[in-house]
Amino acid sequence: MKTKFLSLLSLILALLLLVSCGTTPSDKELPPDAARINGTLLEEFTIVYSKKGGDYSARAAEYIQEEIKNRTSLELEVKTDTAEKTWEYEIIVGETGREISKNLDPETKGMQFAIISNDKQVALEGDHFVIAAAAYYFINTYITDVTFNATIPTTATVCEPITEKANNYIFLIGDGMGLYQTKLFEVMSLPTSNNFSDNEDIFYGYMFPYQGFAKTYSQNSDVTDSAAGGTALASGYKTNNENIGMFVGRKDVQSLTELAGSLGMSTAVMSTDVATGATPASFSAHAKRRDLTDIIEKSQKETVEKYGTIIKCGYGSEYAPAKVKALENDVLATIDTLDDNEKGFFMMYEEAHIDKHSHSNEINSTFFALMRFNQIIGVIMEYAFYNPDTFVIMTADHETGNLLPDSTGKFVYSQTSHSGADVPVFAYGHDADVFNGKTINNIQIPKTIASFWGVNNFGNKDLEGPLTK
């Protein structure tokens, strides 16, 4: 009882001290050096976001509101740019019809964003999910303490997202996603109905700052299957087709999931395929053949019991907006659970249906799968911008269908099986530049990630090692 009383007394004294120091500004009494932007009291501002910017702009505005409240105790109103204007000063988030938005640098590329101000407005702009990077930059550069006095440039300043030494690692795999699958946005139009996208006109990988290619052959074939391809990406071992987490069917090989778990990191495996599908199985199980589902399930259960790995799979090929939104929310919920661990986390997410639709040469369905993958990339990159200690890498286990442009510029499939084509690699985060402009062996991706964790002997030591600067 005495301890509770002292705690309550301490809380009351702390609150009194806060009030006496002027750290909880009110409408009536503000300290002379209260929080200001370009000389105007912060409490005079309204946060305005671009309604056409969709969820990304709305969430960026909410982030700015929440962080300002956390740092200054002021709770600014949030409005859309379509609301009737009854305020004078604005923090504008996203591309709006406001005159100041027209002065932002149109030359921003990829993950760059721009910031500008005048005597009554501050404007932040970034394409799609990049508005999150702009919001994080604005808060952590200018909203420094309770009584800050920020001066925002009056000429457009182009910036790049803040990155820190990585603690969290997210591995994105587009099954069957070759070069021309990633370019479908260039030749196909977004559907007018059942459109769950953010109206993007680009595959988000091309916004990543670092890009290259990877070779995908397996131990026993120039053309890999998903089992050997997934195992290579998970373990740093080339293996025979059909093998899951094994070296040529003779020994189990450690996956990044298992390595991360052994280092105390939280781990998750997610896929739109079933859990026993080749790629999620490669990151969570060991079996001589991909069709040995009972053995794979038993092995996955052991992985869950030993490392606490979260396995969420089986989202199918339903592309209704509500289904895609539910998948986005599930990905974010999984990440939210993982990032409770101070030692960081590793997560693999696979979009499996680029491959499945390419096998049947259904280019429209392939485009829908790519659009869905884009949505997941977007929410993951948004998380990475708000958590700069996050590393994201994306590639494919192989290409499917040998999709190529024809003489008219359309993309057409020339087979229903996998091809041996090199696949794109996209990377973002601290030290991700080691992947830039290179054509590598796919096993070098997990080896490089392991080296970031201080493990330099991961994977097959007889083949190419991790990338270095």
CATH class of 168-452: alpha beta
Q: What b/e string do you get for 313-337 counting C-beta neighbours within 10 Å, with b at 16 or more?
A: bebeeebeeeebeebbeebeebbee
Q: Which of 261, 222, 269 lies closest to 244 in space, CA to CA? A: 269
pLDDT digits (tens, 9 = 90+) for 243-295: 999 999 999 999 999 999 999 999 999 999 999 999 999 999 999 999 999 99
* pLDDT value of position 22: 33
Average pLDDT, the chain: 92
pLDDT digits (tens, 9 = 90+) for 418-452: 999 999 999 999 999 999 999 999 999 999 999 99
| Percentage of the chain lying above the pLDDT 70 cut | 93
Residues of the chain with CATH 3.40.720.10: 168-452
Looking at per-residue confidence, does 129 or 25 come out higher?
Answer: 129
CATH 3.30.379.10 fits 30-159, yes or no: yes
**Is it the case that residue 299 has pLDDT exceeding 80?**
yes
* pLDDT value of position 194: 76
Residues of the chain with CATH 3.30.379.10: 30-159
pLDDT digits (tens, 9 = 90+) for 148-170: 999 999 999 999 999 999 999 99
pLDDT digits (tens, 9 = 90+) for 204-253: 999 999 999 999 999 999 999 999 999 999 999 999 999 999 999 999 99
* pLDDT value of position 9: 38
* pLDDT value of position 249: 92
pLDDT digits (tens, 9 = 90+) for 304-330: 999 999 999 999 999 999 999 999 999
* pLDDT value of position 34: 87
**Is it the case that residue 60 has pLDDT exceeding 80?**
yes
* pLDDT value of position 7: 41
* pLDDT value of position 11: 38
* pLDDT value of position 20: 32
pLDDT digits (tens, 9 = 90+) for 5-48: 334 334 333 333 333 333 333 344 556 568 999 999 999 999 99
Average pLDDT over residues 373-385: 98
